[in-house]
Amino acid sequence: MLRPTTPPQAPATPRFIVPVLASGGLVAAVMQTIVVPLIPSLPRLLNAAPDDATWVITATLLSASIATPVAGRLGDMFGKRRMMMISLGLLAVGAVFSALSSSLALMVVGRVLQGAGSGAIPLGISLMKDILPPDKQGSAIAFMSSTMGTGAAIGLPASALVAEHLDWHVLFWGAAAIGLLALVAVAVTVPESGLRPGGRFDAFGALGLAVWLTALLLVISKGNSWGWTSPVIGLLAAVVAVVVPLWTLYELRRPGPLVDLRTTVRRPVLVTNVASVLIGFSMYGSVMILPQLLQAPTSTGVGLGQSMLAAGLCMAPSGLVMLFASPLSARLSAARGARTTLMVGALVLGTAFATATFLMQAVWQVVLIGIFTGLGIALAYAAMPTLIMQNVPLGETAAANGLNTLMRSLGTSLSSAVMAVLLADTFVTDGEGLLPTGLGAFRLAYLVAAVAAVTGALLCLLLPRRS
């Protein structure tokens, strides 16, 4: 039951609420992408073995996946604005740790804190649902969702520029500064939501979620490097098999659970979350494949020979399309429903990947594919939170959005593992690093991404036309 609180007081300049909340989402997205251009150099920069250096990525993935639904539930209970400010604070503090690091351990600590702040995006979306008038919510939520792509559009070329010409620590000092600015802007501009369900925090449920989710993500992300048949991977898989049923039973029996599974299995919510996994899987195909094609040397007969900065700039139009497509997604959802928007977005994404199997020989072709994948992602990602919030109680919107964000993350994690397996035989090692030897595996990876997106579109047929 919702516990009434003092209604939020609209600030003198309410038009600033949407861009300020979106800036918080943008900061969270930038934090996720700024480390990407550094990945090949991390072993040298941190004086670590290549396998150990991958924990800079894995640690962020783990903490973000666990913290996002937890932050959503805490936001529903104690205030979404308050939890968004805490999330932004974690992003800024984590960036400071990374900026001060010269060793792997301190960098991993910083990235864990940054991952823990990833709940800013679903919290911001839920705040918009609570404090904006109904006629403004669709476009605002679509704009907020687009920040995930816009963050990549800004973060990739900016971090590539710094990585090529400045000390890499500057990246994280800059990230800390924008995180702090976003926190102050939210504190000054955004009112608190007046909707809170009360209750006690499900700490045991959060612990169970952390255990099985960590084990699952380690299986997905480390299976290739540790060996799919290794004892460690087998043990982690056993942990998932044992803990998930026990955690599910506990959550079903507990009043006020961390994840309301009864709501989650409602058809509109369940179908949207499953589609989110598939679309997240498909989306990550562009993140993995396009930069590799752009940066591989032309001497291989496959690559396009672009610098790190040029490759980042080539990816930028995709993110900008996500930003400018947000009003289109809002209008389509208003006219035809979020179900149609999600379906159209998934079909555009699938068509782009299918077409990409024939367009990999020139930079302009890669940029064009990136633009259309950006359009598909913008439409689909804008529709997901709308579908979720239309079908959950008002007191659970932040937790439900956090869970949906987790589903997308599971999709991208699974995509990373699958794409790595598909591309493994395509690369050889020489003095310049890993180099591709042919386009066959790239085409197969694109087809797998296309199938995932189209399957997500077909799932949308199970959604009601209007909620």
Distances in whole angstroms, Cα of residue 331 to Cα of each of 83, 319, 325, 327, 349? 30, 20, 10, 6, 19
pLDDT averaged over the chain? 81
- Looking at 137-151, 163-177, 338-352, which range is the least confident one? 137-151
Place of tokens 């109904």: 134
Long-range own/partner contacts, residues 52-56 (CB < 8 A, 24 or more apart): 52/104, 53/104, 54/225, 55/104, 55/108, 56/104, 56/107, 56/108, 56/111
As a whole number, mean pLDDT of residues 56-79 equals 84
Give the HSE-up count for residue 188: Cα atoms under 13 Å, Cβ half-sphere: 9
Above pLDDT 90, what percent of the chain? 16
Residue 297 CB: number of other CB atoms within 10 A?
15
Q: What is the CA radius of gyration of the chain?
A: 21
177 falls in which pLDDT band (50, 70, 90)? very high
Task: Give how far the C-alpha of residue 108 lies from the chain's centroid of Cα atoms, to the nearest Å.
Answer: 19
Whether the predicted pLDDT of 467 surpasses 80: no
Give the start-to-end residue ranges of the domains of the chain.
1-199, 203-253, 262-467
Predicted confidence band at 249 (pLDDT cuts at 50, 70, 90)? very high
Homologous superfamily of 1-199: MFS general substrate transporter like domains (1.20.1250.20)
Q: Tell me whether domains 1-199 and 262-467 share a fold.
A: yes
Return the residue matching tokens 């109680």.
393
Predicted local distance difference test score (pLDDT) of residue 196: 64
Strand 195-196 to 3-4 pairing: antiparallel
What is the reported pTM?
A: 0.81
pLDDT tens digits, 378-421: 888 888 888 888 888 776 777 787 788 888 878 877 877 777 77
pLDDT: which is higher, 220 or 426: 220
Q: Which range, of 119-133, 293-307, 377-391, 423-437, averages the lowest pLDDT?
A: 423-437
Identify which of 444, 377, 448, 385 has the alpha carbon closest to the alpha carbon of residue 415: 448
Residue 360: how many CB atoms within 10 A of its CB?
19
Does the pLDDT of residue 149 top 70, yes or no? no
Cα dihedral sign for 265, 269, 275, 279? negative
Q: Closest Cα partner for 383 from 357, 422, 344, 410? A: 344
Cβ–Cβ under 8 Å, residues 57 and 218: no
> Directed axis angle between helix 120-131 and helix 363-390, to 10°?
50
**CA distances for 189 relative to 27, 119, 177, angstroms:** 17, 19, 18
Helix (H) or strand (E) holding 428: strand 427-430
Q: Which CATH superfamily groups domain 262-467? A: MFS general substrate transporter like domains (1.20.1250.20)
Helix 55-78, helix 80-100: angle, nearest 10: 160
Residues 251, 258: contact at Cβ < 8 Å?
Answer: yes
Cβ 404 vs Cβ 277: under 8 Å: no
Q: Crossing angle for the helix pair 80-100 and 104-116, nearest 10 degrees?
A: 160
Question: Which residues, including other chains, have CB under 8 Å from residue 211's CB and lie 6 or more apart?
Answer: 239, 243, 247
List alpha helices for 34-133, DSSP H: 42-45, 50-53, 55-78, 80-100, 104-116, 120-131
